[in-house]
Structure 1
Amino acid sequence: MKRRTFIASAVGAIGGVSACAWRGSDTLHRGAALAFGTTISISVVHEDAELAGRAIADGLKAAQAIDRLMSIYHPGSQVYQLNRDGILARPDARLLEVLNQATQLSHLSAGAFDVTVQPLWRLYSESAARGGLPSDAERRRAQALVDWRQLEIGDAAIRFRREGMALTLNGLAQGYAADQALAAVQAHGIRHALLDTGEFVARGRKSRSHPWILGVRDPRDANALAATLYAQGCSVATSGDYECTFTPDYRHHHIFDPAAGDSPDELASVTVLAPNAMLADGLSTAFMVMGWERGSALASRLPAVDLMAIDKHGHEKRSAGFPSDA
């Protein structure tokens, strides 16, 4: 299961590498590649086309490297190996960084965010393939394997303390990939960029007179926008109940509340603005589980974090610092 954020970039679909001029000597350059089971893209503004091309290529490679490292599907990934063997020796420093962020989010959210929910995802996915939902007994058995505190993280090794546990980084890896891609792009001196790995990072502006603009998908209409945002110096991520559903009423989907062993039932989508994409990515999942009251209370305690939530009835709420529509 890949996790897409369903925020549509105002620059539109990107294929290959292209460029278009805007006022002044700088030019908007675009590039795309495959990762996380979808198309990721990078747009940069710079006067030097050759330098921009190198920056885009390096950024895309950085994001693809995170996909190869953290995929739950690719046998060569360290996450795949950990899930298969229950232990991973000599983990990559980037994996440790992401897992340490996961631990912090689990603490902050009182366990609402938990990377060890993979047994629940696997159970519901297999049950849906058979045309139904898991029994209460099956759900309880899978739920017993979900506990972030039973994941031992160390420089020498990562291991599960219970047999049968598994993790997924679908709630962090795409955001982390965007952050890594941004660092690669900025290493070339690029100041204006928009990166889309399924989570978005915006720096600088699209042109002298236009900021980057992102559109947030309506959770019940793939062809409509719930909001449009000016994105300047921030990262944006959305989690929604519509991306992968097990029942047509959106009651059971790919996001799980570890305490219930099932999907949270209050919100249809949550969009988060945060200082970096990995944090935005993780918080969007956590807030889906926590619901509006608990989620907005946590956001108010975190610097430069805001959210917009849409509930199952289409009602929208925004935290005080979440921007008005562009």
Structure 2
Amino acid sequence: MTQSNDISRRQFIRMTAAASALLVGGVGYGLAKQQQMTRVTETQMLLGSVANLTLISHQPEKARQAIAAAFGKMSALEDVFSRFRPNSQLSQLNAKGHLQDAHPAFVDVMAKAIHYGDLSSGAFDVSVEPVLRLYRQGSQSGTMPSDDQIAAAQQTVDYRQISLAPDSISLSKPGMAITLDGIAKGYIIDAGAAVLRDHGFEHILVELGGDLQAYGDADQRPWHVRIERPRSSSSAPIMTSLENRAMATSGDYQNAFTPDLRLHHIIDPTSGISPGELASATVIAPTACDADALSTTMLVMGTQADLALIEQLPTAEALLITKAGQAYTSANFPAST
């Protein structure tokens, strides 16, 4: 529990320092005055990050009740997906290599993870956890793992060795383990937004650790989002907007293992090290789960492959920023500098 709380505080500091790379605009005065709408926002810690749920409504008490229900749903999913909780279903699967009576959401997330593994030819691979574990341990001890240790851990990495049944999950290789850091946050955001919509709300913003899902509008306009450029405080931010869309950003600055950001929490499964071209990848997609998985994928694949992939996905757009600060966007990314 102490370890989880420490991580939460560090994540909160990073997010409030804008390391999550975005700021979101709220409800405007015009809509509030015209319809006597109220902005209701509540905040909790989830998955070691700050979660902000916002509703714009003329029924603030009903809005607070809906937000409480949404946080309840999101917290229940954290009990399934968290790698920090020894009794979570993820931790049980990693400890035993097999999980009976798997939560339907766990099976669903794993099916989506396998889909993105196939879509990216393995660039997105949730079974990279044994390699990540070595780097986390090395970061804490001050001694990075050797090439031989990384190569040995890579032998357990292959998402195609994950077997799914309606109520069970199995890992075929001894020593395999799963990380959901590149997909579960988005899934939980979607689940929270679904609860709010089920309660009848239309103007919704669900944000967790910098990733978000937006429905409806603010002041009869889309929700406005500012994307900061990594390591470039003097450059103008990139502005975009969301309406009934989700956005997620993956960056080398978010959970670094080395001060120079050369090694961080996103690992190329093929090389066993962090990809070297991009500083960040931002994806807009219909769901936060899709945006989360795709932003992770694109940080691994690199600019050329990313833009080729995104053109095959008509409902997704991408913004890519290299370590040198060059920005690239897909054809229809809604951005203005």
Find the aligned partners of 1:153 and 1:33 in 2 and give their Cα distance: 32
Distance 1:243 1:225 in 2: 20
Q: Please give the residue correspondences for 1:1-326 in structure 2 after superposition, counting only pairs within 5 Å.
A: 6-11=20-25, 21-198=32-209, 199-208=211-220, 210-220=221-231, 226-325=237-336
- Separation in structure 2 between the aligned mates of residue 202 and residue 154 of structure 1, nearest angstrom: 32
SS at 1:218's partner residue? coil
Q: CA deviation at 1:313?
A: 0.4
Once the two structures are superposed, residues 19-78 of structure 1 have per-residue CA deviations (whole angstroms, 9 ceiling, x without a partner) of x95443211111111111122011111111121111211122222222111001102210
State the 4+ residue runs in structure 1 displaced beyond 3 angstroms.
1-5, 20-23, 221-226
Q: Alpha carbon RMSD of aligned pairs, Å?
A: 2.0
Q: CA deviation at 1:84?
A: 1.0
User: Aligned partners of 1:274, 1:56: CA distance in 2, in Å?
Assistant: 23
Q: Could you tell me how far apart the structure 1 residues matched to 2:76 and 2:232 are?
A: 33
1:185-221: CA deviation from partner (whole Å, max 9, x where unpaired): 001110111110222001111223x431122232225
CA contact (8 A) 1:55 1:184 kept: yes
Q: 2:61 is aligned with what amino acid?
A: E
Q: 1:23 to 1:310 in 2, by over 3 A?
A: same
Q: Report deviation, 1:225.
A: 6.5
CA contact (8 A) 2:21 2:230 kept: no
C-alpha displacement of 1:89: 0.5
Deviation by residue 1:80-114 (Cα, 9 ceiling, x = unmatched): 11011111101111111110000100000000000
Query: 1:15 maps to what in 2?
Result: none
Number of matched residues? 318
- TM-score, normalization: structure 2? 0.89
What letter matches 1:237 in structure 2? A
User: How many Å separate the matches in 1 of 2:281 and 2:247?
Assistant: 11
TM-aligned CA distance change 1:277 to 1:50, over 3 Å: same
Q: CA offsets per residue over residues 233-258 of structure 1, 9 Å max, x none?
A: 11000000001112222111110000
3-state DSSP class of the match of 2:279? Answer: strand
Residue identity opposite 1:147 in structure 2: D
CA distance in 1, matches of 2:163, 2:198: 34
Alpha-carbon separation, structure 2, partners of 1:103 and 1:287: 16
SS for the counterpart of 2:311 is helix
Gaps of 5+ in 2: 1-6
The residue aligned with 2:3 is none
CA separation in 2, counterparts of 1:133 and 1:313?
25
Deviations 1:118-140 (A, max 9, x none): 11111111122232322111110
For the 8 Å contact 1:270–1:287, the answer to whether it is kept is yes
**2:153, 2:75 → 1: CA distance?**
31
Structure 1 position 228, deviation (Å): 2.1
| 8 Å contact from structure 1 (residues 215, 225) kept in 2 | no
Cα displacement (A) at 1:291: 0.5
TM-score normalized by the length of structure 1: 0.92
Identity over the aligned pairs, expressed in percent?
A: 36
The one-letter amino acid of 2:275's match is P
Amino acid at match of 2:20: F
